[in-house]
């Protein structure tokens, strides 16, 4: 048991059960590099404005770096009675540099200190996630480039709808993950605001220079209101919301990989190195990675819900409830980073089966819309054309045939405007390449989208 910074006011020692209950050290110890960097900047600022001397600052800074090395090497002793990382480092500093350590906490509170550490942690984590997303987007663009001639059925309601290029499908995910990266970039702007100097909640009587601290810590902005600076966690909520949306995209991609690798679809095969087997059924090869990503999505949603619920109705300013912000934050960062890393490695190893995809796209009347469009091209209003094509489909179904297997005579029974050139219109390549509307699946469009994405990634 250690002496407490609040000893003066208290007649009794803290009960050990209280120390165990209130301690967060096992969670927040990972903030230590930020806590030390923040304290170093705080010391330098205090010296600059003359609250402590340059010598005192130098001694404190030197001691803080020594503690950083100790923590880096894993030699540091943690103890529940010291509650959190902030008190651990301050207590160790007292042992390292003596009583000058008692000046470190001048013009500062743990309330603004933890807000600072969390913001520094999150801006690094967000930067890494944006980098990871850039790599993932690069993988998707490379896959699209590789699969520019692979045609598969596009689905609505999970029913075969119209043929699309596999490249177009990959590029759809490129778009989703690009928006995710933008969302993280946007939340980063509001995370990157320096709260230190708010002190407990009201600011401080010392002549501190918060803009100097911000400069030392590479923050482009300083929190404008001391109460908001210690009470606000909406920067974490924004991150968790962006992470949740990003996980929705991971989950949808994963779901498709699971479906596509099933015996019913057989569109792809996952590499052995990225699959698992069964302990009982020797034939099994299971898509556990995409399944787990799908499952982990729920964790991240839970992290967002946990923090929303935690923050709801808290009165200003700091409340101890807020210590519970870190488990969901760390969990979401780690989960998302893990999903990113494994997906980046797994996607390029997927074996695509173009013949199976093509065969699926050829069966099930995916060219019915194109029959209608053909009729429209010969002056039939679209609604009538839709009805004629529908009757052709019903006829073909009854014959057990596809539209393109009907004879010209059979088709002409439904419309006199049909001629032999229709059959060209109903081939997969024609269907794909006529969809030249901006954003459509025509090969030219997709090639242009790939080129634009490649250029954008190179510039980011």
Q: Which amino acids are annotated catalytic?
A: 157, 278
CB of 91 to ligand ARG, least distance (A): 14
When asked if residue 110 is in the footprint of ligand ARG (CB under 6 A), the reply is yes
- Buried residues in 180-211 as b, exposed as e (16+ CB within 10 A): bbebbeebbeebbbbbbbbbbbebbeeebebe
Q: Which is nearer to ligand ARG, 117 or 370 (CB)?
A: 117
Q: Is 226 in the site for ligand ARG (CB under 6 A)?
A: no
Q: How many residues does the chain have?
A: 460
Q: Choose one: 4-12, 93-101, 109-117, 444-452; the region binding ligand ARG (CB under 6 A).
A: 109-117
Q: How far is CA 59 from the centre of its chain?
A: 41
47-106: contacts with ligand ARG (CB under 6 A): 84
Distance (Å, whole) CA 358 – CA 267: 9
**Cβ 85 to ligand ARG shortest distance, Å:** 8
Report the DSSP pairing between strands 268-269 and 351-352. antiparallel
Binding test (CB under 6 A) with ligand ARG, winner from 99, 320, 351, 416: 320
Count residues contacting ligand ARG (CB under 6 A)?
10
25: its two tokens? 């050290």
Q: Which stretch binds ligand ARG (CB under 6 A): 41-49, 132-140, 143-151, 317-325?
A: 317-325
Q: Restricting to residues 9-28, name those near ligand ARG by CB under 6 A.
A: 24, 28
Task: Give ∠ CA 223-40-6 in degrees, rounded to 5.
Answer: 80
Nearer to ligand ARG, 60 or 322 (CB): 322
**Which residue lies nearer to ligand ARG by CB, 111 or 443?**
111
- How far is residue 146 from each of residues 49, 168, 255, measured CA to CA in Å? 60, 11, 22
- Which CB, 10 or 438, lies closer to ligand ARG? 10
Minimum distance, C-beta of residue 322 to ligand ARG, in the bound complex (Å): 5
What is 237-252 written as a DSSP string?
HHHHHHHHHHHHHHHH
Residue 434: burial class (beta carbons within 10 Å; 0-12, 13-18, 19+): middle
Closest CA to 318 of 198, 432, 231, 222: 231
Residue 152's DSSP bridge partners are 164
**Helix residue ranges per DSSP H, 208-353:** 210-216, 226-231, 234-260, 288-311, 326-346
Q: Does 114 bind ligand ARG (CB under 6 A)?
A: yes
Question: Could you give the string, one character per residue 321-360, with x where binding to ligand ARG holds by CB under 6 A and - elsewhere?
Answer: -xx-------------------------------------
Q: Give me 302's structure tokens.
A: 């839970």
Nearest distance, CB of residue 229 and ligand ARG, angstroms: 13
Return the number of the residue (14 or 362) whose C-beta is nearest ligand ARG.
14
Binding segment for ligand ARG among 99-107, 110-118, 125-133, 214-222 (CB under 6 A)?
110-118
Which span sits near ligand ARG by CB under 6 A: 155-163, 206-214, 279-287, 316-324? 316-324
Residues near ligand ARG (CB under 6 A) are 24, 28, 84, 110-111, 114, 318, 320, 322-323
């Amino acid at each position: 048991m250690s002496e407490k910074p609040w000893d003066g006011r208290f007649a009794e020692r803290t009960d050990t059960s209280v120390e165990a209950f209130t301690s967060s050290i096992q969670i927040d110890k990972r903030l230590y590099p930020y806590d030390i960097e923040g304290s170093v900047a705080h010391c330098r600022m205090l010296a600059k404005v003359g609250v402590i001397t340059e010598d005192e600052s130098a001694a404190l800074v030197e001691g803080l770096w020594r503690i950083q090395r100790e923590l880096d090497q894993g030699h540091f002793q943690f103890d529940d009675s010291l509650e959190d990382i902030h008190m651990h480092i301050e207590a160790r500093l007292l042992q390292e540099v003596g009583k000058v350590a008692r000046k470190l906490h001048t013009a500062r509170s743990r309330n603004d200190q933890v807000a600072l550490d969390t913001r520094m942690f999150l801006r690094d984590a967000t930067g890494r996630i944006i980098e990871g997303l850039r790599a993932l987007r690069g993988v998707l663009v490379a896959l699209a480039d590789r699969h520019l001639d692979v045609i598969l059925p596009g689905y609505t309601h999970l029913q075969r709808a119209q043929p699309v290029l596999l490249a177009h499908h990959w590029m759809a995910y490129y778009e989703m993950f690009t928006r995710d990266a933008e969302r993280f970039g946007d939340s980063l702007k509001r995370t990157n605001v320096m709260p230190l100097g708010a002190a407990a909640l009201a600011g401080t009587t010392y002549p501190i220079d918060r803009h100097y601290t911000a400069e030392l810590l590479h923050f482009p902005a300083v929190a404008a209101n001391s109460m908001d600076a210690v009470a606000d966690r909406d920067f974490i909520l924004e991150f968790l919301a962006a992470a949740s949306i990003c996980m929705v995209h991971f989950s949808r991609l994963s779901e498709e990989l699971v479906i596509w690798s099933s015996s019913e679809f057989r569109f792809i095969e996952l590499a052995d190195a990225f699959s698992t087997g069964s302990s009982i059924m020797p034939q099994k090869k299971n898509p556990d990675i995409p399944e787990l990503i799908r499952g982990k999505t729920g964790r991240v949603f839970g992290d967002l819900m946990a923090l929303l619920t935690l923050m709801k109705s808290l009165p200003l300013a700091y409340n101890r409830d807020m210590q519970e912000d870190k488990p969901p934050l760390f969990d979401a960062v780690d989960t998302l980073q893990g999903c990113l890393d494994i997906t980046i490695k797994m996607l390029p190893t997927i074996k695509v089966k173009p013949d199976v995809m093509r065969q699926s796209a050829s069966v099930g009347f995916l060219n019915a819309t194109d029959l209608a469009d053909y009729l429209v091209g010969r002056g039939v209003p679209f609604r009538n054309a839709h009805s004629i094509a529908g009757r052709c489909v019903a006829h073909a179904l009854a014959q057990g045939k596809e539209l393109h297997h009907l004879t010209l005579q059979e088709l002409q029974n439904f419309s006199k405007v049909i001629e032999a050139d229709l059959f060209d219109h109903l081939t997969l390549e024609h269907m794909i390449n006529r969809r030249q509307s901006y954003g459509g699946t025509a090969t030219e469009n997709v090639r242009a989208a790939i080129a634009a994405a490649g250029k954008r990634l190179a510039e980011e």
